[in-house]
Structure 1
């Protein structure tokens, strides 16, 4: 059974990205992975290799099928989603969605893909690469152990020759004198240490512990989130929102909001529970309506999310 994990798959994509941005055919798009450059690369990849599974990944990521004849495939929402791929390439997102990972694999042309194929078709060279990415050093440890064993054998062999050399025994008196000198020297050294040194050592330890605590508290923590098209992603609090089309700000992590997601409604969408309570929320955005899976505020215009009503559905959804 394969021991390749999804984390290994993500690491392999990042390694392929580092290689492609330096020497790949589309290094000009990947060396600066802005949403605009990634959009251009999307069109290039899917035009040159319209694989069925890749096309399914595209539709799952953007919520519409790829069409090479359409001129205007990407709006603000789609560009914001590509920002999530950019953050993944740059290591600035902690928990990217699976759709983000799959599109990233296509853009760097990692093969085999997707993950269910990747974990099955691994040759020896790829397995070694996975071990390197994991930081595995088991093989190095084995080599070191063997070298140590050989070294011990050689030393034992050399020492065995010394067993045949007749040495004159040292006088017993010299050993006793040496022992006494060592004891006296140790006693004198211990007696010479001032008692105040203990206090100095304790003070130094206390200062170092305090500095360590200050440094720990000052380190940036990944306790922030940022709206990415239709959902929140957990990001580094130092992440700047440069390059965002809609300028989505970096916010402090809110466990009540991190699961908020914008959804697309259709004829089969369930809007109310068995007690006729709304389970879908909405907010106006310009002349249209955005729907969400939970209550809160609209991440893009801060409008309060309200429970959906039959009037809203008739006006904006069933009007056709």
Structure 2
């Protein structure tokens, strides 16, 4: 379990600037709930089980709905937020599992991670086995026991010798490095450290270039595989991932989010619009555009143009901006 916690937290630190950065780079309890609503329709079977355990722990056999997530008490995300900020370790495993879903960590859940981890240990153990001479079989039972004890001693001696040889080799390599640097003439102060060889500097420089280029290509391939999208007036459309900004209009091109692509719409609201769902939840979220004009959307998240967090259309806002709110 400890290895799983460390792996999930390390993955979060690695991707928070790229994957769902609007929600994960500077997380709050409200943003974490909003991200859960964004990912809700794309959950696989294992992820849906985790969501149900987190959002409806007292009725695990019931179907989890979108509104169960959207209306969930944001204070219950505090253990998750504390874990993400390395302030505290949550007591419940489901909190770790939920973070793994939000950051798309693989392998998940814990049971799958544990199986893969055990297989990896077995493979490592197989690669480190050493063939030892076979002990002959004797009819005398006492002789067999003696030979078994002798075999154990031989194995222990072999492992100790192997360890000593590795340590001696490490010391010899260190000595060679020290001798090679101490024998060289040093200009000026004899105690000043030598600069690294030019070839070494070139190798490091080339390695960095290759690493950066490889990372960029890998990211580009991932984006091309998943696709990108762009905001067009009142909805998202799929586009190629060839640019960061649209050459024709300058709009930001971002990795595709299937939830936003399918369901996020900018809508016009009047005093005859139905603001509340049959179950009592609010239907719309609002935010101001660059001209400080109020705009309304069907999903939570970020304003597609300004990037600011959208807010739920409350009773106060409905009464302030619309004549009738009873529908």
TM-score interval (norm. to shorter): 0.3 to 0.5
Flag the structure with more relative contact order, 1 or 2, with Cα contacts below 8 A and sequence separation at least 6: 1
TM value normalised by structure 2: 0.35
